[in-house]
Structure 1
Amino acid sequence: VPLLFRIEAPCAGNGRPLPGKGTKSRDSGGRSLRAGGWAATLVLAAFLLTACVSEATNKACAKQNCVGGINPEKAGFLVVAPDRGYAGNQKTRMAFKALNDKYNAELLFATDERMRPYLKEALKNLNRRNAKQIIVLPLFLSTSHPGLAMFRSMLLEEAGSEDTIYARAFGGSYLSVEMFADRLREIDLGDNPIIIAGYGATTKESQTLMQRDVHRIAEQSMESAGKKNLVITYIWPGGKHDETREAQEKAAWDWIKKNAKHPKNGTRLLLPFHLGTELDGMMNFNAALGYRKPEGLQLIDYKDNEVDFTTLWMQREANRYLATSVGIVFNAHGSDFHWNQTMRDAVADLAKDIPIEFAFSMADPDDLRKAVKRLEKRGVGAIVIVRVFGMQTSFRHATERLIGLDIDAPELCLPDDGNSMRMPDPPPERLRTTSLVVTEGGLGDSPLFAKALYERAIELSSAPSDDTVILVAHGKGSDEANEQWLKVLESLSRQINELSDGKFKTIQYQTWQEDWEDKRGTRINAVKQMVKETQAGNGTAIIIPARTTGEGPTKKFLGEMNYKSGSGFAPHPLFSKWVKQQMEIGIETLKQTRHVWYPALDQTQKGKL
């Protein structure tokens, strides 16, 4: 269809004509035409394109690489944000545009009772565009903000609660932490103590609750930026200007004067962090702090990165509730071309149905970022980083932090057991993505892994009743961490014995501790002794490396001894099955993040999906 006309319709700028309304189109000369003819053909073309996208999503779900959720055509997003005045509201509108261009969405600024007709109109528009499920995206740093409380009460009166879901507030997302951390990374704070200046409280109670939320974000941001400064947080009053507000502002400035100097660490720095008043470049909360601050108190300026992060947050929270296709980032250690290609080939059949991108590294943040971006370009909205390493804890802590899960859903994270590599200081920036990302994996004592190793052993053994299977693994340097590897090998040995119905004479295990010269000698001698004892009993030692792929250093360490050596997990049909299993586990984890609610949200909404 020649794209000669642009369809115009009363649809709030989101490209979706309203049913029953007359539409117009314009030709390239600007002449207005009644919708029909070419324009009607374009409407049909747009419908067919939408149908193709929906069909693609349905096919992905049929192949089970989809996070089930609301049909995007049935969802209506209602973004509610604090009223900040012209300049501040323009930033919100800029962030909203990307969401509105893609989905059925409305934007509302929380003011007072005068907001009610705008809320009614927004709900009317969403429903007119076939929204069956309203999802509220609260653009607030704290869910205790009075503006959000007022909006929620009004929405309950106008729409009830049955068709409304509250998404995670901006302040509950790791993106709010990264927004502030980005500012901190460019500032030399020295060792000065910091006052974080927030905005928007109207009562003592809301001030206390907002300070709790903003202070948490501030502390997490300081850690993310590698800053060690002492931090205190104060929330300035918002709301209408009256005697109460004047008294609150006087109390705020009295507090600032009193706390401008730390009793031990000297003068504090004043650092704004808020979504507060910004009428223009001169009339805004930051400017007010500048000209009213006590002498000697330094106000810190920073880059304005708000729109970048709030844009990402809106689209990411929208994706959280929608049906979307899932892709895999295959994260394995990596080596030369042949090692890497073995891994690629091992999942080649799986990659025919599921988008897979590779990141061959020890969870290198840049490699993982690039792989995520490649999947996004392929239209993937949810991603499982499958960690193809020996232990389930391998690089998990660092990866969970990189994807923001430590902030978004800390209860879904495993504690750091010290089995991961040390985090750099400062830690790397978290992902900037609209996709939902989780991580699964680490072979551990997976039954699929155990079965594959059993098949390796039984294939090599000509007389199982005389032969001894010896599982060997990489191991760790510290005795405590290495003990965790030995426990995994014990479990794998037990499973192999059960799978073989006890056919093998014995099944033994040991780690090499191969990267630690002062320890591996003892481990090598222990394996050699196992081989000698097997030979003395007229059996054959079957060395099976409990590795992701390859033989490892067996030949190097055992030399010319008489034994048979197998290879690791990949390539094997059960390996690709394991990778798919990790994706399926990841899909369930992604669903769980829908039930992780920021504490102040109404708990009656919990579990709706």
Structure 2
Amino acid sequence: MAAHHRKAAAGFSFKSLEVIIAYEVKDEETKQHAALLQQAIINSRAAQEWDDNTQAIVVSFHFGPKHDSMILFDSKLKQLLPAGMRLLPDNQSDIGSLIVWLQREASLSQPLTSEDIGVVLLAYGADFNWNEQMREAAQLLMNRHQIEFVFSMADQSTIERAIRKLERRGAKAAIIVRSFTMEESFRREIERMVGLDIENKAQNTSAHEAHVAQGFVQHGIIKNIPTRIRTPLPIRTTGGMGAHPLFAPPCLIVRAPYLEMRPKKTSLWWHMAQKMTSKTQNEQ
């Protein structure tokens, strides 16, 4: 569990993260257990070598019945905390999001079969006939995977609707396939809405860079941050046909014979739905 918590905190500006587990004990063992728990809390703080100005936030999560305020675990826990540690009250913590995260981590730790993986096929939408052609083209895949179609320009509400459908169908993970010409088309938008920007940052940036990025938000430089899609499904995204060997050569071969009909009045265009990210790429 500790390893999963540290993984979840990666990419943020937390100096450190520690996990302490408190077990339920018999009444006669309560005092002894409380003393051990308090010592574990003190040791965890000392191990981080924090100075007196560093404040630690303690977030509790209960795997058990929720008691009234008189015997609530938080009431006892608050009394055990040393100076410089503050308990986040239960009414200030987003338990729903924490549960979603726990479900997601559980899915990541389990082996997945092809039947467990749902697919969100994202493509440009048009009229009914065009959309039906897209569905027919994916018919063989629908026999092996749970597929939900999204015909939009990466609109978050339509993508979230498809993910919720996959959740109800029992999927344990999802892949968003961007069926566009360019690999970069809507990639960043998709990564942001499902949290992959944070996961990738944790893997590819230093702690200093992560702290700076968080500082922009904390100091108000970025405002009106859009919401994300919170789901227990681990999500990845791929797509962009571009110069893929299964797409580009066959496409050119199919279109090339039409040049012979009226060669002087015909041009061969390689249509890009989205512009490249640089002038050099556009010229290529």
TM-score normalized by structure 2?
0.61
What is aligned with 1:344?
A: 132
Pairwise CA distance, 1:330: 1.9
Q: Aligned match of 2:120 in 329, 342, 364?
A: 329
What is aligned with 1:385?
A: 176
**Contact preservation (8 Å) 1:329, 1:383:** yes
- Residue 486 of structure 1 aligns with an amino acid whose one-letter code is E
- The gaps in structure 2 that reach 5 residues or longer are 23-31, 205-221
What is aligned with 1:458?
A: 257
- Is 1:444 the equivalent of 2:242? yes
**DSSP-derived class of the 2:261 partner:** coil
Q: 1:475 to 1:377 in 2, by over 3 A?
A: closer
Q: Aligned match of 2:281 in 457, 478, 484?
A: 484
Q: Residues 530-565 of structure 1: CA distance to partner in whole angstroms, max 9, x if unpaired?
A: xxxxxxxxxxxxxxxxxxxxxxxxxxxxxxxxxxxx
Q: Residues 177-229 of structure 1: CA distance to partner in whole angstroms, max 9, x if unpaired?
A: xxxxxxxxxxxxxxxxxxxxxxxxxxxxxxxxxxxx2xx63454xx5xxxxxx
Alignment of 1:45-444 (within 5 A): 140=1, 142-143=2-3, 170-171=4-5, 213=6, 217-218=8-9, 220=11, 231-233=14-16, 235=18, 241=33, 249-250=41-42, 259=51, 261=53, 268=55, 270-273=56-59, 281=67, 286-292=74-80, 299-301=87-89, 302-303=92-93, 304-305=95-96, 306-315=98-107, 317-318=109-110, 320-322=111-113, 324=115, 326-334=117-125, 337-338=126-127, 341-351=129-139, 354=142, 355-378=146-169, 380-405=171-196, 426-434=225-233, 436-444=234-242
- Residue 164 of structure 2 aligns with an amino acid whose one-letter code is K
Pairwise CA distance, 1:411: 10
Q: 1:370 to 1:330 in 2, by over 3 A?
A: same
Return the alpha-carbon distance in structure 2 between the equivalents of residues 234 and 353 of structure 1. 42
What is aligned with 2:219?
A: none
Pairwise CA distance, 1:462: 1.2
Q: 1:384 to 1:299 in 2, by over 3 A?
A: closer
Return the alpha-carbon distance in structure 2 between the equivalents of residues 307 and 217 of structure 1. 13
Pairwise CA distance, 1:352: 5.9
Q: Residues 399-424 of structure 1: CA distance to partner in whole angstroms, max 9, x if unpaired?
A: 245445566788999xxxxxxxxx98
**Contact preservation (8 Å) 1:324, 1:382:** no
Q: Residues 510-538 of structure 1: CA distance to partner in whole angstroms, max 9, x if unpaired?
A: xxxxxxxxxxxxxxxxxxxxxxxxxxxxx
Pairwise CA distance, 1:470: 3.8
Pairwise CA distance, 1:271: 2.7
Q: 1:439 to 1:245 in 2, by over 3 A?
A: closer
Pairwise CA distance, 1:456: 2.8
**DSSP-derived class of the 2:136 partner:** coil
Return the alpha-carbon distance in structure 1 between the equivalents of residues 58 and 195 of structure 2. 23
Pairwise CA distance, 1:472: 4.3
**Contact preservation (8 Å) 2:119, 2:148:** yes
- Is 1:469 the equivalent of 2:282? no
Pairwise CA distance, 1:233: 3.7
**DSSP-derived class of the 2:270 partner:** strand
Q: 1:382 to 1:426 in 2, by over 3 A?
A: same
Q: 1:283 to 1:385 in 2, by over 3 A?
A: same
Higher relative contact order (CA 8 A, sep 6+): 2
Return the alpha-carbon distance in structure 2 between the equivalents of residues 249 and 294 of structure 1. 8
Alignment of 1:458-607 (within 5 A): 458-459=257-258, 461-464=260-263, 468-474=267-273, 476=275, 481-487=278-284
**DSSP-derived class of the 2:275 partner:** coil
**DSSP-derived class of the 1:291 partner:** helix
**Contact preservation (8 Å) 2:122, 2:152:** yes
Q: 1:286 to 1:461 in 2, by over 3 A?
A: farther
Return the alpha-carbon distance in structure 2 between the equivalents of residues 253 and 328 of structure 1. 44
**Contact preservation (8 Å) 2:194, 2:228:** no
Return the alpha-carbon distance in structure 1 between the equivalents of residues 78 and 99 of structure 2. 23
- Residue 139 of structure 2 aligns with an amino acid whose one-letter code is A
Return the alpha-carbon distance in structure 2 between the equivalents of residues 389 and 397 of structure 1. 14
- Residue 350 of structure 1 aligns with an amino acid whose one-letter code is A
Q: Larger Rg: 1 or 2?
A: 1
Q: 1:406 to 1:425 in 2, by over 3 A?
A: same
**Contact preservation (8 Å) 1:272, 1:286:** no
- Residue 271 of structure 1 aligns with an amino acid whose one-letter code is I
Pairwise CA distance, 1:388: 1.8
**Contact preservation (8 Å) 2:178, 2:240:** yes
Q: Residues 345-386 of structure 1: CA distance to partner in whole angstroms, max 9, x if unpaired?
A: 144143265153221223233211211222444455554322
**Contact preservation (8 Å) 2:58, 2:85:** no
**DSSP-derived class of the 1:476 partner:** coil
**Contact preservation (8 Å) 1:390, 1:442:** yes
- Residue 481 of structure 1 aligns with an amino acid whose one-letter code is S
- Residue 459 of structure 1 aligns with an amino acid whose one-letter code is Y
Q: 1:315 to 1:394 in 2, by over 3 A?
A: same
Identity of aligned residues (%): 21
**DSSP-derived class of the 1:469 partner:** coil
